[in-house]
Chains A and B, each alone.
Chain A
Amino acid sequence: MIWRFVEDTSWSAVSIFTPLILAILAYALRDRGWRLIAWASVVLPPLAATALLVQVGRIGPVRYEIGGWGSPLGIDLQADALSALMVLMCAVVGSAVSLYAQSYFGPERAHFWPTWLMVWAALNAIFLAADLFNVYVTLELLTLGSVILIALSASTSALVAAFRYLMLALTGSLFYLLGVALLYGQCGTLDMALLGQRVDSSVPVQLAQALMILGLALKTALVPLHFWLPAAHSAAPAPVSAVLSGLIVKASFYVLVRLRLDAFDTVSTVAGDHVLGVLGAVAIVWGSLQAMRVKRLKLLVAYSTVAQIGYLFLWFPLAREAGAASLATSGVVLFALAHACAKAAVFLAVGAVMRVAGHDRISGLRGIGNRLPLATFAFGLAAVSLMGLPPSGGFAAKWLMLQAAITTGQWYWGIVIVLGGLLAAGYLFRFLSRALEADRGADLPPARGRSHAGLEVPAMLLAVAACVLGFLGVPLCDFCDNGMSHGGLGDAL
């Protein structure tokens, strides 16, 4: 009986409308009852996401027409294995961030909660979108929401970074929209599934593909279009940085993957995929080198995001060959999940560190591990996943991607992957080694004996989640293989 309930309810709609309704409530009620809304946002979305996962696992890809109107004028939601996993990723990270934010924000929470919940709804909507224009609208919603969240920190650098990010993100969206227009003109449909059948190699389609990839790459901060990210992610308040690095950059990447899988499968070129791969490799190296240079901890973590995004783009060259497509896809999906949890954990831990230390200059943080042992351990555990060391999701993902690289003979990507892990250790231990030192000569205010459990525990939970993912490799691979709506790359070829 309960299975019928799980299979029949439209969990995709529930996943989008839950945070949306909570957002409206939070806005309407202003500051009253915010705790109840906050707790609701900790508990409800993971339940809905799990239900969606189970539903897709049991009956395969699901499609839902909102209001029963159907495309092209109505909004359709589609949920397959990839979407369900992304929604779950949002739910897990978002739940921890909601928990963290309850202890983090002071008076600015009246602005935080409605905006954050709106962003959450937009994220879910992107992952569940079935047509191109819906993606555009929700991407814009995501951009506007995240800009407001960055500006919450109210510092000058945050405002400047937010403005820059806004201009660039809006530009990226317009590129994407122009691409959508061209595609519609050529193929007559906006539905992603139908597009795959109607595309050809004509000029408008090629141009559209280039425009859309450009716009989305700008939003995903692929090198060399990454210059806005370090400033924006480091200036934002800690929980916002966690959401930005963990979830929001994944949204535009998801759209890229969807477009590639559903619409542009037959039109993509080997050269194009390899260009994306090369840019990803450059991102890994460049981001890591920058992270080893900078003097501020949040900036270090932001550059780490630039580097880790590079791994995501290795999917394009790796997944081309039919033999390795499922390995590469499972690997990159696992990587995205593990990175979301680990990066968010790191930002949350850094937020706790900044709360206690009052600053984030790495050289002045000696011995912070003694004041905040749980946060430091969370940082360390999450770092294990970011470095791709066992036992973590990062390691499992690295192994899968390495296998994909070796079996398709593209061993050079394998070298990049292994190198990236070592470079990550290089910059992550900059903080960890100082945290474990004795705190003589450090730039820390006197200890006040306040407990920061509200900040440390969510960070730890996310770090543990990143490690637990390491043991879920087999179910995840099976789920991806069976539940993708188009069977992955190389099918149509």
Chain B
Amino acid sequence: MNFDSLMPPFVLLTSLIAAVIIFFLREENHRARTVWNLGAAVVKLLLVGYMLWGVFHEHVFETRIGLLPGLNLSFHADAMSMFFITLSATLWLFTTIYAIGYLEHSPHRSRFFGFFSLCVSSTVGIALADDLLTFLIFYELLTLSTYPLVVHRGTQISARAGRVYLAYTLLGGAAVLVGTAWLYSLTGTLSFREQGFLSDLPAERHNALRAIFFILIAGLGVKAALVPLHGWLPRAMVAPAPVSALLHAVAVVKAGAFGIVRVVSDVYGIEFCASLGVLSVLTVLASVTIVYGSVRALAQDDLKKRLAFSTVSQVSYITLGIALGGPLAALGGIVHLVHQGVMKITLFFGAGNLAETLGIHRISEMDGVGRRMPWTMVTFTVAALGTIGVPPGAGFVSKWYLSVGALEAGQPLVIGVLIASSLLNAAYFLPILYRAWFRPASGKWPTDGTRRAECAWSLLAPPLVTAALSLGFGLFANWAISPLSWARLITFREFGI
């Protein structure tokens, strides 16, 4: 058992142990809680950095623990895992800093941060899972650890939102369980393999495989907010802003999208999917979601709800990329996992700042807020423009590759979907920016009596960093250390180029 094979459990354990310790910390113990929170996040980031370097140099990080007869709890860090886990670990650190500031004077912080850490452990488990069973286990754990966060505020509305969330996600989990069990009975193995492990099954099994595919996509699509399974997401906005930021940029929706990518590439294999004919349905579903989400976003006055529908739309870019079936499209979809993550988290940080400092929840209240909270709105603007697809933002890079990939796959209609989506993005983001920067304030802003800069540094620094990252990922996309280069690595390994 060399050091490398212990890495996956180590990374998992950093947040797991932190969670257990934080649960037992007394509510008043702020300093200890902050130390454990930030300490664990930093340690995790360091370990992930080591693994990143290792995977680039083709080291093997693999762990297997016997769980059930014939099945293991298996972890393996491949390029795709590292992509997701780096996003998670980095954004966890920033969200933790943000949450510490945001939840100052809130009750039940030990409970919050305990489940927060559990949530990140689940995400790490999903990223590092080497077979469908391990993935399923951590997928369900994610549901369980995010539920207390959604209902954290303790009001009737959050309780109801929590129930809706549970209904959707538990049903989705049951679907993934059924699909996995059925698949196991057909093949006797569940391990992910590049280019899939199902292509050598006899032809009479293909109908069963098609059915399993759609069952799995349905289960994963709940978390990935694929229409019509997206209903929980806008309702979950009642949670505190750090939760919305984490859920929407890092954990839940990305886990669903990540799962879809895994199933299509490493369980079925993209070519096999194409030959089964399931990819066209997936393309249609993704396209419908992209347009529907943007249309619904237009109608929302609540800022977080608008961002929620925007997420519904944006996450389906990932699904679209993988469903189109070509290497360039896959590249666009996979790299959007990281790009959308940093952009959306910036937007939610901004929304949180507005809510926390000025009590603003609706877009109609945002007149002139750019003057009162300039830095927050700058980050918001950068992220919004990036999402629309304005170069040199990160969103432009993703959309470019998706469009080129659509052409390469012979689906020019999809480009229409992408253009429509960008126009709709502009339609629901630009008015916000206009209101914030170019309209005078409608009344006096509430002050908290201090002469502080617009808000606490712990609420400002994270969005500044993530906004800068979203700009940098686009500007410097051709550098060796950009997400795009890493996504190229993933795509080349998957397509065997």
Residues on A lying within 8 angstroms of B by beta carbon are 327, 330, 367, 370, 373, 377, 384, 387, 389-391, 395-396, 399-400, 402-403, 406-407, 414, 418, 421-422, 425, 429, 433-434, 436-438, 470-471, 473-474, 477-478
* CB-based contact A406/B185 at 8 Å: yes
Instruction: Say whether B203 faces chain A, with CB atoms less than 8 Å apart.
Output: no
Interface assignment of B181: CB less than 8 Å from any CB of chain A = yes
Complex contacts, B153 vs chain A, CB 8 Å: 438
7 nearest A-B residue pairs (beta carbon): A438-B154, A390-B137, A406-B185, A473-B68, A474-B66, A402-B181, A477-B69
Q: For the complex formed, measure the closest distance between the CB of B11 and the CB atoms of chain A, giving whole angstroms.
A: 17
CA distance A52 to B138 in the complex (A): 35
Chain B residue at minimum C-beta to C-beta distance from A472? B67
Minimum Cβ distance to chain B for residue A399 (Å): 6
26 A-B contacts (beta carbon < 8 Å): A370-B108, A373-B111, A377-B23, A387-B170, A389-B140, A389-B144, A391-B141, A395-B140, A402-B181, A403-B181, A403-B185, A407-B185, A418-B178, A422-B174, A429-B163, A434-B159, A436-B154, A436-B159, A437-B151, A437-B154, A437-B155, A437-B156, A437-B159, A438-B155, A470-B67, A474-B69
A473 & B67 in contact (Cβ 8 Å cutoff): yes
Q: Could you tell me the dominant secondary structure of chain B's interface residues? A: helix
Q: State which residues 123-149 of B face A: CB under 8 Å.
A: 133, 136-138, 140-141, 143-144, 148
- Binary A-proximity of B12-28 (CB < 8 A = 1, otherwise 0): 00000000000100000
Contact A390 B151, CB 8 Å, known A399-B68, A434-B159, A473-B68:
no
Chain B proximity of A365: nearest CB distance (Å): 13
With CB as the reference atom, state the residue of chain B lying closest to A437: B154
Is A433 a contact partner of B68 (Cβ separation < 8 A)? no
Q: What's the nearest-Cβ distance from chain A to residue B176, in Å?
A: 11
Q: Tell me, in angstroms, the Cα distance from A367 to B170 when the chains sit together.
A: 24
Q: Of B108, B138, B163, B181, which one neighbours A414 at CB under 8 angstroms?
A: B181
Known A-B contacts A367-B154, A390-B140, A418-B174; the reply to A406 vs B66 at CB < 8 A is no
Name the residue on A nearest B23 (C-beta): A377
Knowing A418-B178, A433-B159, the reply to whether A425 touches B170 (Cβ < 8 A) is yes
Quote the shortest CB–CB distance from B367 to chain A (angstroms).
33
Quote the shortest CB–CB distance from B227 to chain A (angstroms). Answer: 22
CA distance A291 to B336 in the complex (A): 45
Question: CA of A414 to CA of B180 in the docked complex: distance in angstroms?
Answer: 12
- Decide if A433 touches B174 in the complex (CB within 8 Å): no
Docked Cα-Cα span, A384 to B140, in Å, equals 10
B115 CB to nearest A CB, Å = 10
The smallest beta-carbon distance between A407 and chain B, in angstroms, is 6
* Contact partners of A330 in chain B: CB under 8 A: 69
**Prevailing SS type, chain A contact patch:** helix
From residue B201, how far is it (CB to closest CB) to chain A in Å?
16
Spell out B's residues near A (CB within 8 Å). 23, 65-69, 108, 111, 133, 136-138, 140-141, 143-144, 148, 151, 153-156, 159, 162-163, 166, 170-171, 173-174, 177-178, 181-182, 184-185
Q: Kindly report which residue of chain A lies nearest to residue B137, judged by CB atoms.
A: A390
**Complex: A414 Cα to B171 Cα, angstroms:** 15
A377 CB, nearest partner CB in chain B, Å: 8
Residues of A within 8 A of B184 (CB): 403
Give the residue name and chain of the A residue nearest to B134 (CB): A390
Judge whether A418 and B154 touch: CB under 8 Å.
no
- A390-B136, A418-B177 given; A425·B166 CB < 8 A: yes
* Shortest distance from the beta carbon of A369 to any chain B beta carbon, whole Å: 8
Closest residue of A by beta carbon distance from B175 = A418
- Chain A nearest CB from B74 CB (Å) reads 14
Q: Which residues of A lie under 8 Å from residue B162 when comparing CB positions?
A: 433, 436
Chain B residues with CB below 8 A from A429, complex form: 163, 166
Beta-carbon contact of B141 and A390 below 8 Å: yes
Partner of B174, one of A407, A421, A438: A421
Residues of B within 8 A of A477 (CB): 68-69
Q: A403-B181, A406-B181, A418-B174 are in contact. Are A396 and B67 (CB under 8 A)?
A: yes
Q: What distance in Å separates the Cβ of B392 from its nearest Cβ neighbour in chain A?
A: 43
Q: Report the minimum CB–CB distance from A405 to chain B (whole Å).
A: 9
Closest beta carbon of chain B to A374's beta carbon, Å: 9
Instruction: Flag if B141 contacts A433 (CB, 8 Å).
Output: no
Evaluate contact between A474 and B67: CB separation under 8 angstroms: yes
State A384–B137 Cα separation when bound (angstroms). 12
**CB distance B170 to A422 under 8 Å?**
yes
Is the Cβ of A474 less than 8 Å from the Cβ of B68? yes
**A-chain residues with CB within 8 Å of residue B137 when the two chains form the complex:** 390-391, 395
A71 nearest CB across to chain B (Å): 36
Contacting residues, chain B, for A384 (C-beta < 8 A): 144
**With the chains together, A389 CA to B185 CA distance in Å?**
20
Are B174 and A473 interface neighbours, CB within 8 A?
no
Across the interface, do B68 and A422 meet the contact criterion of CB distance under 8 Å?
Answer: no
Q: Which residue of A lies closest to B139 (CB)?
A: A390
Determine how close the nearest CB of chain B comes to the CB of A408; give it in whole angstroms.
10
Question: Most B CB atoms within 10 A — which of A373, A384, A437?
Answer: A437
Q: Are A396 and B68 in contact (CB under 8 A)?
A: yes
Bound Cα distance from A473 to B141, whole angstroms: 19
Collect the chain B residues with CB atoms within 8 Å of residue A373's CB: 111
Q: How far is the CA of A433 from the CA of B67 in the complex (A)?
A: 31
Question: Please, which residue of chain A has its CB at the minimum distance from the CB of B138?
Answer: A390
> How many Å lie between the Cα of A436 and that of B154 in the bound state?
6
Contact B173 A389 (CB under 8 A): yes
Residues of chain B lying within 8 A (CB to CB) of residue A406 = 181-182, 185
Q: How far is the CA of A418 from the CA of B138 in the complex (A)?
A: 18
Given A403-B185, A422-B171, A437-B159: A471 and B67 interface contact (C-beta under 8 Å): yes
Distance to closest chain B CB from A9 (angstroms): 31
Given A390-B137, A391-B137, A436-B148, CB of A473 within 8 Å of CB of B166: no
Bound form: Cα–Cα A396–B111 in Å: 28
Bound: A403/B185 CA distance, A: 7
